[in-house]
């Protein structure tokens, strides 16, 4: 379990997260929603230990720096370079760097792990392609494969469906559901409120502080969404 106690983050004196207290459920797919600038990416980065924060975060009772192997991360796609000359299999193998070390050669077993991860995301046939040849949806799937070789318990995805066609989104969500059923704990920063009720078991609504956290059926309502989105939201259809 991931536990955040009094977690705050400031960038140049500007508070991005204010006093976050959370005990995040295991073995669920949790959605993280909130307006632009709500601190969603910042919260993920704090839990991953890649930015500094005040307060305390533990993963299975231990500090983050002892648990880095247990957390895998698919960053917001806009931060990535698709044109880098590297094959799909090589790219996925980068997920092993913590285990293998950056300058060491991969073993046969490592390449088998890479092949298994590509199989899991349905791209076994594309291992020797250049990543620049992939569609947006395929690229998102190899980002997930790169997480899978790490064999982390906790997987964080930051807006994985942005710029991806509906069919790829469905395939990717199916992969996440399979991972959850295999016992992984998955967090997805997400901006399409129409899908929230279908996709997520648990929901965290964030706006610099925790607006609500709990079962999606309980917290996905006009009251909490209104608080988080400050009236900027169009309530169409089926929000309770």
Tell me whether residue 37 or residue 163 sits nearer to ligand ADP (CB atom).
37
3-class SS string, the chain: CEEEEEEEEEECCEEEEEEEEEEECCCCEEEEECCCCCCHHHHHHHHHCCCCCEEEEEECCEEHHHCHHHEEEECCHHHCCCCCCCEHHHHHHHHHHHHHCCCCCCCHHHHHHHHHHHHHCCCHHHCCCEHHHCCHHHHHHHHHHHHHHCCCCEEEEECCCCCCCHHHHHHHHHHHHHHHHCCCEEEEECCCHHHHHHHCCEEEEEECEEEEEEEHHHHCCHHHHHHHHCCCCCCCCCCC
As measured in angstroms, the least distance from the Cβ of 151 to Mg ion is 26
Alpha-carbon distances of 84 from 92, 130, 131, 164, rounded to whole Å: 13, 9, 8, 20
Q: How far is the CB of 40 from ligand ADP (least distance, A)?
A: 3
Give the shortest CB-165-to-ligand ADP separation in angstroms: 23
**Binds 198, which of Mg ion, ligand ADP, none (CB < 5 to 8 A, cut-off by type)?**
none
11 makes contact, choosing from Mg ion, ligand ADP, none, with CB < 5 to 8 Å by partner type, with: ligand ADP
CB closer to ligand ADP out of 12 and 52:
12
Shortest distance (Å) from residue 6 CB to ligand ADP: 18
Query: Of 45 and 118, which has the nearer Cβ to Mg ion?
Result: 45
Q: Is 34 in the site for ligand ADP (CB under 6 A)?
A: yes
- Contact with Mg ion (CB under 5 A) among 9, 20, 31, 41: 41
Is 37 near ligand ADP (CB under 6 A)?
yes
Residue 38 binds ligand ADP, judged by CB under 6 A? yes
37 binds, among Mg ion, ligand ADP, none (CB under 5 to 8 A by kind): ligand ADP
- Looking at 30, 42, 150, 153, which residue binds ligand ADP (CB under 6 A)? 42
Q: Which residues bind Mg ion (CB under 5 A)?
A: 40-41
Residues that bind ligand ADP (CB under 6 A): 11-12, 16, 34, 36-42
């Amino acid at each position: 379990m991931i536990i955040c106690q009094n977690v705050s983050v400031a960038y140049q004196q500007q508070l991005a997260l204010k006093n976050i207290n959370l005990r995040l459920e295991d073995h669920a797919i949790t959605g993280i929603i909130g307006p632009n600038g709500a601190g969603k990416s910042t919260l993920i980065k704090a839990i991953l230990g890649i930015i500094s924060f005040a307060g305390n975060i533990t993963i299975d009772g231990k500090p983050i720096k002892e648990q880095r192997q247990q957390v895998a991360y698919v960053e917001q796609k806009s931060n990535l370079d698709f044109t880098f000359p590297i094959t799909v299999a090589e790219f996925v193998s980068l997920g092993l760097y913590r285990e293998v070390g950056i300058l060491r050669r991969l073993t046969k077993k490592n390449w088998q792990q890479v092949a298994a991860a590509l199989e899991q995301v349905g791209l076994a046939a594309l291992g020797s392609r250049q990543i620049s040849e992939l569609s947006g949806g395929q690229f998102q799937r190899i980002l997930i494969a790169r997480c899978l070789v790490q064999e982390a318990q906790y997987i964080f995805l930051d807006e994985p469906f942005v710029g991806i066609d509906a069919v790829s989104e469905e395939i990717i969500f199916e992969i996440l559901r399979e991972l959850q059923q295999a016992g992984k704990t998955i967090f997805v920063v997400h901006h399409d409120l129409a899908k929230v009720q279908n996709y997520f078991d648990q929901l965290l609504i964030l706006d610099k502080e925790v607006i609500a956290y709990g079962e999606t059926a309980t917290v996905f309502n006009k009251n909490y969404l209104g608080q988080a989105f400050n009236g900027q939201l169009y309530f169409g259809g089926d929000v309770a």
